[in-house]
Amino acid sequence: MFRNYLLTALRNFRRQRIFSFINILGLSVGLTCSLLIILWIQDERSYDQFHENKDELFSVMRNSYFTNGEVYTFSAIPKPLAEVLETEFPEITHAMLYSFTLTQVFTKGENAIREPGRYVDSRFLEHFSYPLLVGDARKVLAEPNHVAISRAMAEKLFGPDWQQKNILGESISLNNRLELTLTGVFENVSRHSNLDFEYLLPIEDFYPFNDWVHEWGNNGLRMQVRLVKGTDYQELNKKIVQVINDHNSGDNRIFLQPITDRYLYNNYENGEIVGGRIEYIRIFSLVAVFILLIAAINFMNLATARSSKRMREIGVRKVVGAGKTALILQFLGESVLLAVLAFFLAISFVQLLLPIFNEITFKEIQLSYLSSSYLPVFFAIALLVGLLAGVYPAFFLSSFKITHILKGKLKHNYGAANIRKGLVVLQFFISIVLTIGTITVYQQISFIQHKNIGIEKENLLCFDLEGKAKEDYESFRQELLRQPGVSSVTAMNQFPLNVGTSTSGVDWPGKSPDESILIQIITGKQDMVETLGLQLVEGRSFSRDFGMDTLSVLANEAAVRAMGLENPLGVELDYWQRKRKIVGVLKDFHVASLYATIDPVLISITENEPDFLYARLEGNQTKESIEAIEEMYANFNPGYPLSYQFMDDAYNRIYQSEASLAKLTAYFALIAIFISCLGLFGLATYTADRRTKELGIRKVLGASVSQLIVLLSREFTWLVVIAFALSVPVSIYFLRNWLEQFAFHTELGASTFVIAAVLAMGIAWLTVGIQAYRAAISNPVHSLRAE
């Protein structure tokens, strides 16, 4: 019996090649997209899940409250906090301090490399699961000037055969100034780690060069703690919230966040977590459900629509003795077989498309990452779709009487037809929402890329200052200005797109004693304004003609507003144990992402060695300038490899996730429309077949081809119009919420909806029109003879 069902199914597939192909292709494409999204979601959720003690490890965060109503949430904390937490709270077994990422030069023999890394607690590798290939986790960072490096770094310094050598105890030069002893090599840090580093140094080595860390009022270090197993960290948060306030002025409240949450939940408003990358997971989870739903609707619509063409077959089978159960099994079996074929085709598509998907999402996902729990789920979904698609023909058609079937007395089932129309509306509703979302995301990305952020980021070269270039900055600057195409040079201690240095300790005349405002601080050398392309509103810039400009300061408009200064020029500010006068006011510029409002900023001259160099290049000589700078740098600063970036590239990387979101949304919107149109094409074909005689009669009576095309297309046009009308308010609600996450964003204009409507309608007309045209030009003689 099974063999008979299988042969019958294969014959039907062959007889209805187009519909079988559309059914299998549509469902397999939907399953493919959903599987790819599930793989991406799994990858996103896997950050920091590899730590053996993940449930006991927490990041220390802080909320700083200011009198202007601002609340800043960040991870920088004062060093003395570690000792207090360890000694006063028994729930905390160990508080581990670590530094921000520092890129430094390591030299071994002729090999000189620049690598990012961190200064960390001596017991860091005991608590976190970064496996050591060589060395003892309890001793590797126990002494000053010890260093542990990654496998990749060991290969660069000691060669690919480093494991055959006894490299423990080898000496490595740091910045050509300090000799370090190699005490360990760890496996390359997983890309699923929220901390990135290629080397680790003892945190005690960081303190002698950074005296500021010992004060309660200074921040810069980060901290993670390990709790006693079973501790309720929410209850502990209530106990530790006021610790900083107990030792320092201001309003700073700390709290613990599980390390497994840091990657996904990193967006705060008013001191509360409101989301982060978890929002993208939620968005794409919905997209996966929607696309799978569209594919399932498509599959069921076509299966039920074509089933009525098999009335005579059902009648004949009943005449020769087939029972209702046999017919039910046959129809369900055919539908399930199609769904199973679609499932295995989807697995092949996923394997084929993964390299492209990884390139778009900046991932390294493999099909093997798909949890064993997911494949059965998707296989079950495919089976369910097949069963649901087979229910209508299996139970409804098999229930009719033989005489009614063979005499053709069955009435058209308008209820089923209306259900199919409703499902088509749902398909296009989802497709149009995705299309509107795609257009909006692209408009926002374009807005970000072209927005004037107050800094001329094009042709602005940036690199670290090291070695002789840092020690003798003025000579290096003069030499750099001699290179072709270099028009201006400056140096700073901050990266202007992410300043990261701030204070609430600025005093000015008329300031209220209880007033507290966080102000971003930029320090550097002369020509900062000119090189960055900042705009003066009033006053002057820094000048070498004024020998006391180390006591001058520039303020942006936001800082002037925050301090309530009506005539800011000449006003004396007091911060960082030095008094400075405002000599110029700058037009507001961004020092953070467009998610945030523009912060108050003060800029002053530093007498210390700066960390970053910025060179303005002339646009038509960029290639020649880079080549000349590389040659000059190698001669001026031997032993330090040059690694540079352009400011506009760095700016675009900040919004890499949004750009990836835009691409993915665009692809998924196109796929949703494609699947919907597959179904529309199938239903249009079915409609044309069902109305064959009607079309023939109309043609004999003089109806033109265009009239027949309009007749067949009108029904589907209204379905798309209804879908569009439903999609507009839904799209407006969700997209406005998304755009409002940005302090600066594009507007949701009517053109977005017009483009989506034209696109959806045009594709629908093209899809239906092709089939309508074929039906309209067919010979009416054949149409009238059709059964």
**Which pLDDT band holds residue 312 (cuts at 50, 70, 90)?**
low
Residue 414 has pLDDT above 60, yes or no: no
Determine the Cα–Cα distance for residues 328 and 63; give it in Å rounded to an integer: 64
Contacts of residue 600, defined as CB under 8 A and 6 or more positions apart, other chains included, come to 517, 518, 519, 520, 555, 556, 558, 559, 561, 562, 563
**Given this model, what pLDDT does residue 148 score?**
97
Contacts of residue 230, defined as CB under 8 A and 6 or more positions apart, other chains included, come to none
Q: Are 564 and 514 in contact (CB under 8 A)?
A: no
Residue 618 has pLDDT above 60, yes or no: yes
Q: Are 747 and 735 in contact (CB under 8 A)?
A: no
- Tokens standing for residue 697: 């009669």
**Given this model, what pLDDT does residue 417 score?**
65
**Which pLDDT band holds residue 305 (cuts at 50, 70, 90)?**
low
Residues 171-208: tens digit of each pLDDT: 999 988 899 999 999 999 999 999 999 999 999 999 98
Q: What percent of the chain has pLDDT over 70?
A: 84
Q: Tell me which of 131-140, 182-191, 286-295, 480-489 is least confident.
A: 286-295
Q: What is the mean pLDDT of residues 614-632?
A: 89
Q: Tell me which of 79-93, 104-118, 192-206, 749-763 is least confident.
A: 749-763
Residue 629 has pLDDT above 80, yes or no: yes
* Greater model confidence, 328 or 608: 608
Which of 291, 416, 399 lies closest to 667, judged by CA?
Answer: 291
Q: What is the mean pLDDT of residues 69-86?
A: 89
Q: Which helix (H) or strand (E) holds 491?
A: strand 486-492
Determine the Cα–Cα distance for residues 44 and 192; give it in Å rounded to an integer: 8
Which of 299, 310, 305 lies closest to 398, judged by CA?
Answer: 310
CB atoms within 10 A of CB 767: 23
Residue 736 amino acid letter: R
The backbone torsions φ and ψ at residue 650, rounded to the nearest 5 degrees and listed phi first, read -65, -40
Determine the Cα–Cα distance for residues 600 and 573; give it in Å rounded to an integer: 14
**Which pLDDT band holds residue 699 (cuts at 50, 70, 90)?**
low
**Given this model, what pLDDT does residue 167 score?**
92
Which of 362, 363, 374, 287 lies closest to 33, judged by CA?
Answer: 287
Determine the Cα–Cα distance for residues 35 and 374; give it in Å rounded to an integer: 9
Q: What is the mean pLDDT of residues 377-400?
A: 71
Residue 343 amino acid letter: F
Q: What is the mean pLDDT of residues 615-632?
A: 88
The backbone torsions φ and ψ at residue 134, rounded to the nearest 5 degrees and listed phi first, read -140, 130
Residue 389 has pLDDT above 80, yes or no: no
Determine the Cα–Cα distance for residues 178 and 61; give it in Å rounded to an integer: 33
Residue 782 has pLDDT above 80, yes or no: no
Helices vs strands, H then E, count in the chain: 24, 25
Q: What is the mean pLDDT of residues 293-306?
A: 73
Determine the Cα–Cα distance for residues 468 and 475; give it in Å rounded to an integer: 9
Handedness of CA 344, 350, 351, 352 (dihedral sign): positive
* Greater model confidence, 73 or 513: 73
**Given this model, what pLDDT does residue 193 score?**
93
Residue 83 has pLDDT above 70, yes or no: yes
**Which pLDDT band holds residue 719 (cuts at 50, 70, 90)?**
confident
Q: What percent of the chain has pLDDT over 90?
A: 37
Which of 497, 453, 502 lies closest to 744, judged by CA?
Answer: 453
| Residue 394, CA distances (Å) to 11, 398, 569, 698 in order | 18, 6, 85, 35
Q: What is the mean pLDDT of residues 455-461?
A: 92
Determine the Cα–Cα distance for residues 199 and 185; give it in Å rounded to an integer: 9
**Given this model, what pLDDT does residue 554 score?**
96
Residue 41 has pLDDT above 70, yes or no: yes
**Given this model, what pLDDT does residue 34 score?**
87
Q: At what angle do helices 2-15 and 17-45 cross, to 10 degrees?
A: 100
Residue 725 amino acid letter: A
* Greater model confidence, 711 or 219: 219
**Given this model, what pLDDT does residue 53 score?**
93
Q: Are 487 and 618 in contact (CB under 8 A)?
A: yes
Determine the Cα–Cα distance for residues 678 and 766; give it in Å rounded to an integer: 12
Place of tokens 């290639």: 623
* Greater model confidence, 369 or 272: 272
What value does the mean pLDDT of the chain take?
Answer: 84
Q: Are 140 and 183 in contact (CB under 8 A)?
A: yes
Residue 412 has pLDDT above 60, yes or no: no
